[in-house]
Amino acid sequence: MMHSLQSRVFLLLLILGNLHCLYSQEVSSFCGTSLKTQEASLQNMIGIHHFGFRGIHNIPVQIHMVLNDNGGGDLGLLKLRESICTLNQDFESTGFQFYMEDEINYIKSSKYNEHNYDDGLEMMRKYNVPKVINVYIVGSPAGNCGYFTYQGDALALSKSCLGKNSHTWAHEFGHYFSLPHTFFGWEGIDYNAGKPTADYQNQVFTQIENTDRRNCLSQADNFCDTPPDYISNRWSCNDSDSSSLVQKDVNGQTFRSDGSLFMSYAIDNCMSRFSDEQKFAMQNNLTNLRTDLDRAVTLRSISTFDNALINPSDSSITNSKVRFSWNPVANADGYIFQLSRNQPFTVLIRNLATVNSSIEVDSLVEGKRYFWRVIPFSKMDFCTQGSASFTFEVNSFTSVGNVTGSKDVNIFPNPARIGQNIYLDRINDTEKSNIRFFSEFGKDLTEVTVKNTNLINTYIQTEALQPGVYFIQINQKFAKIILTH
């Protein structure tokens, strides 16, 4: 490890001499973490060499959701939850898991929502909360998908670069815990294999890394288990997560960049890991330089949603006003309730967060089918599955007596008294196998009430029911039934 230490000191001296030219060097659409920030992070790691896995760390994050002046432009809880779920999966092998210690801080400011680096820094200095990782989710973080800034000691992430399949957050947290890019030093340089690589050394900020591992501790990112990489713009990979671009190192050895590493600039579907040395470096950064983040907290998982205990039950018939309710879910802080006109939940009638386990919606359109689901959320668990997707149909129930459009089926008596059988006369075999019986609130009572026999008529047994309004469905047609004392 002494060797590494010396190398890093040497690198530092090299860098201090060049510091003046580092400021406005990097322009990138993926990550805007500056050379200066990456170098400062590396510099702070000098002398820290307690390598080894140091167990699980639950780390608090403060989410600052930056909106427009008028309050528009929220990422939404569902997408935030998915993004943090992916982040935690990406960090699982490091032992780090992230959670929210406090509520989301909503900031209404168009200036900060689409900011340049100066305004971003101003925002961070204004809103940073001590002893947590501050994450600003904005419309445009200086034109990038994200960046970490050492000066602001916070991250800015673009709403459009977050989601279930994005590793932007993992990449920026890598920077936060001291990791440079795998191509560190090549930022802003357009590598061309036609030019001798040695000729790039006066442009490249670090010592150019070779495939030969001899000097890997003092080349590029100073990690020996992250191979050379000269590509500083975003690239897509082949099936083995390597670059299609074949590069040539200073010794003339050819190689392809490793896109599986989060700290490369490969696109999201290539990225899947931190290297072991990168993990050690992050562990060391946390336990030596970011002790403020230490918490003795246990992350509680949200319990499984009970799909059986819901109202209205799945495939119900309802009227236009519906009260949705479900069994409270242990360890949930609240619920995202979604009501949609379609199964993929892209045409949302309602999409809201509630701390209650019930919600009432009225003015639903008669004759239409709807879908609904509930996703419990908490500040500690971002990955637990929500409810299944349920469906119901709103009906007008205007026809009393004969089933609408099916003149042959006669329902009698109606109204009926409790205990009286209600007969369905002249019903055919297809209709017999398609009878359903519902309470006013959509509870399916078919099993306990509908009696099909071949000897006499098909009938509804009412003994177990209460007085009130019920509905019978035969095929796709409905009729209202009234029961009295």
Q: 395 to 454, contacts with Zn ion by CB under 5 A?
A: none
Cα–Cα nearest to 293, from 152, 123, 153, 476: 153
Q: Quick count: other Cβ atoms within 10 Å of Cβ 389?
A: 16
Q: Which part of the chain contacts Zn ion (CB under 5 A), choosing from 33-41, 90-98, 283-291, 346-354?
A: 33-41
The helix (run of H) or strand (run of E) holding residue 237 is none
x/- letters, 290..319, toward Zn ion (CB under 5 A): ------------------------------
Nearest residue (CB) to Zn ion, 37 versus 384: 37
Nearest residue (CB) to Zn ion, 179 versus 310: 179
Q: For residues 422 and 144, give the distance between their C-alpha atoms in angstroms, rounded to a whole number.
A: 69
User: Residue 274 Cβ, how far from Zn ion at the closest point, in Å?
Assistant: 13
User: Residue 41 Cβ, how far from Zn ion at the closest point, in Å?
Assistant: 11
User: Residue 150 Cβ, how far from Zn ion at the closest point, in Å?
Assistant: 13
User: Residue 188 Cβ, how far from Zn ion at the closest point, in Å?
Assistant: 12
- Intra-chain end-to-end CA distance of the chain, in Å: 88
User: Residue 190 Cβ, how far from Zn ion at the closest point, in Å?
Assistant: 17
Q: Does 62 bind Zn ion (CB under 5 A)?
A: no
User: Residue 349 Cβ, how far from Zn ion at the closest point, in Å?
Assistant: 40
Residues contacting residue 69 through CB under 8 Å, at least 6 positions apart: 108, 109, 110
Nearest residue (CB) to Zn ion, 31 versus 161: 31
Q: Which part of the chain contacts Zn ion (CB under 5 A), choosing from 31-39, 93-101, 131-139, 458-466?
A: 31-39
User: Residue 355 Cβ, how far from Zn ion at the closest point, in Å?
Assistant: 37
Whole-Å CA distances, 204 to 88, 198, 222, 402? 33, 10, 14, 85
Q: Which part of the chain contacts Zn ion (CB under 5 A), choosing from 26-34, 108-116, 161-169, 471-479?
A: 26-34
CB 206 within 8 A of CB 185: yes
Query: Using CB atoms within 10 A of its CB, is residue 353 exposed (0-12), middle (13-18) or buried (19+)?
Result: middle
Q: For residues 171 and 412, give the distance between their C-alpha atoms in angstroms, rounded to a whole number.
A: 70
Indicate which single residue of 31, 137, 302, 422 sits in contact with Zn ion (rule: CB under 5 A): 31
Q: What is the dihedral of CA 156, 262, 97, 224, to 10 degrees?
A: -120
User: Residue 171 Cβ, how far from Zn ion at the closest point, in Å?
Assistant: 5
Nearest residue (CB) to Zn ion, 178 versus 338: 178
User: Residue 181 Cβ, how far from Zn ion at the closest point, in Å?
Assistant: 5
Nearest residue (CB) to Zn ion, 147 versus 372: 147
Q: Does 33 bind Zn ion (CB under 5 A)?
A: yes
Nearest residue (CB) to Zn ion, 179 versus 403: 179
Nearest residue (CB) to Zn ion, 28 versus 384: 28
Q: Strand (E) positions, 355-441?
A: 358-361, 369-377, 390-394, 410-412, 416-417, 422-425, 435-439
Q: Which part of the chain contacts Zn ion (CB under 5 A), choosing from 27-35, 201-209, 225-233, 464-472?
A: 27-35
User: Residue 247 Cβ, how far from Zn ion at the closest point, in Å?
Assistant: 19
Nearest residue (CB) to Zn ion, 176 versus 459: 176
Q: 88 to 117, contacts with Zn ion by CB under 5 A?
A: none
CB 163 within 8 A of CB 82: yes
Residue owning tokens 């890991």: 273
Nearest residue (CB) to Zn ion, 33 versus 134: 33
Q: Which part of the chain contacts Zn ion (CB under 5 A), choosing from 8-16, 32-40, 211-219, 391-399?
A: 32-40
Nearest residue (CB) to Zn ion, 77 versus 161: 161
The tokens describing 363, both together, are 């003015």
Nearest residue (CB) to Zn ion, 33 versus 210: 33
Nearest-CB residue for Zn ion: 31
Q: Which part of the chain contacts Zn ion (CB under 5 A), choosing from 28-36, 64-72, 389-397, 447-455?
A: 28-36
Q: Quick count: other Cβ atoms within 10 Å of Cβ 453?
A: 9
Residue owning tokens 């909360």: 129
Name the phi and psi angles at 446, rounded to 5. Answer: -55, -50
Residues contacting residue 156 through CB under 8 Å, at least 6 positions apart: 115, 120, 124, 136, 138, 141, 142, 144, 146, 147, 149
Q: What is the dihedral of CA 75, 79, 83, 89, to 10 degrees?
A: 170
Nearest residue (CB) to Zn ion, 31 versus 375: 31
Residue owning tokens 């600039």: 265
Q: For residues 221 and 207, give the distance between their C-alpha atoms in angstroms, rounded to a whole number.
A: 9
Q: Tell me the number of residues near Zn ion by CB under 5 A.
A: 2
Residue type, 394: V
Q: Does 226 bind Zn ion (CB under 5 A)?
A: no
CB 7 within 8 A of CB 217: yes
**Residues making contact with Zn ion (CB under 5 A):** 31, 33
